[in-house]
Structure 1
Amino acid sequence: MMHLLAIIADLYTPLLIFIWLFYLYQEGATRGAEIKVLLLSLLLVYTVMFLDNYFNIWATWELDYSTHSGLALIFVVNLTWRNKILRLFAPLSLLVYCCLMLKLNYHSFADILTTLLVLLPALLYWQKGLKN
């Protein structure tokens, strides 16, 4: 059973990317801006990861920065702005994914929460800029 859950967890982010690409190619007018925001968001997630690895920021509190949560959050934030259905299901899917990571002991609740809280303000700001 745990093996199946691990496979599901491994497929979550690729599924989000596939859905994001589907919507990206439907909305050609904003494609360039969407890709810039994606690249900026990826840069943020990995910069925080490198800073954490170098300065042991999360380890100071006996936590672990969750790159998996950060990557998923990028796509969830973007998909949330797409339509009413995704506004409900994208965050719900992230919640289920976080529960799955807890069940599999990939990360603690505090690991996931602190990662999301650090990244979310910038991701929301950039995403909101796309829609204005």
Structure 2
Amino acid sequence: MVTIHIFGNLKRYVCPLFLFSDNSCSFQTDEIIRYVCEDNDYFLWNIAIMTFEQWAVIADLYTPIIVIVCVICMLLAGRQHGLKDGLLQLGGVVLSAVFIYAIMFIDNVIGIWPAFDLDYSTHTAIGLVFIGYFMVYRPKLSVLMILSMIGYAALMMHQKYHTLADIMTTTICVMPVILLCQYKLAAIAKR
């Protein structure tokens, strides 16, 4: 059991969140975190700590969820603007996916990222394919999707799947080409 005591200015912000007066607070942890006010040892509530495996499930769900949202948007575009539009949007996503997997293959053969003691992040690259789609075709959703990708990147770092350097170098390498693929096919669709 670990106890963390909070005193000083921080207690004014932490304790009121848990309906405590302006006294010091303790956080006691084992399987759960317990919020306890020191002067009367008042147990307020428990928050379960998520395990590595639970976080891994959330990480595993990110890409399928973003794919489903993307497919729904493509189907709606095909329905609203014609089959050609939907197919060109799908083409941009497929072309972008082929590109990111080609980079992965080249990296596996040549070892570009390992030469810098880094790792090409396929997780990041495939997520960016769909972020690129939303940036080009669904600008109103793009901010939400970019924020989701930032959250996913933070989760990958938390799980030690990739480092910030892995994620950033992958993004810098693939994002311009992903956007180029998406924008070029969007321009063709407007003709």
User: Within 2, Cα distance between the matches of 1:16 and 1:104?
Assistant: 20
Spell out the pairing of 1:2-21 with structure 2 (5 A cutoff).
2-21=52-71
Between 1:119-128 and 1:62-71, the stretch displaced more is: 119-128
> 1:59-87: CA deviations, max 9, x gaps?
00000000110000000111223142x12
The equivalent position to 2:135 in structure 1, one of 66, 77, 80, is 80
The equivalent position to 1:40 in structure 2, one of 95, 98, 101, is 95
Residue aligning to 1:22 = 72
Report the RMSD for the aligned CA atoms in angstroms. Answer: 1.0
Q: Could you say which structure has the higher helix fraction? A: 1
User: Within 2, Cα distance between the matches of 1:83 and 1:64?
Assistant: 30
Shift of 1:38: 1.6
Residue aligning to 2:117 = 62
Residue aligning to 1:100 = 155
Residue aligning to 2:173 = 118
User: Rg bigger for which structure?
Assistant: 2
Shift of 1:31: 1.3
- State the TM-score, normalized to the length of structure 2: 0.66
Residue type matched to 2:65 in 1? Answer: L
- State the TM-score, normalized to the length of structure 1: 0.94
User: Within 1, Cα distance between the matches of 2:61 and 2:127?
Assistant: 11
User: Within 1, Cα distance between the matches of 2:132 and 2:92?
Assistant: 11
List runs of 5+ in structure 1 lacking aligned partners: none
Q: Number of residue pairs matched?
A: 131
User: Within 2, Cα distance between the matches of 1:20 and 1:118?
Assistant: 22
User: Within 1, Cα distance between the matches of 2:128 and 2:149?
Assistant: 7
Check conservation: 2:93, 2:182, Cα contact below 8 A: no
Shift of 1:93: 0.4
Residue type matched to 2:161 in 1? Answer: Y
> 1:14-68: CA deviations, max 9, x gaps?
0000000110100113111112112211111110001000001000000000011
Using the aligned pairs only, state the percent identity.
35
Q: Which has the higher contact order (CA 8 A, sep 6+)?
A: 1
SS of aligned partner of 1:27: helix
Q: Could you say which structure has the higher strand fraction? A: 2
List runs of 5+ in structure 2 lacking aligned partners: 1-49
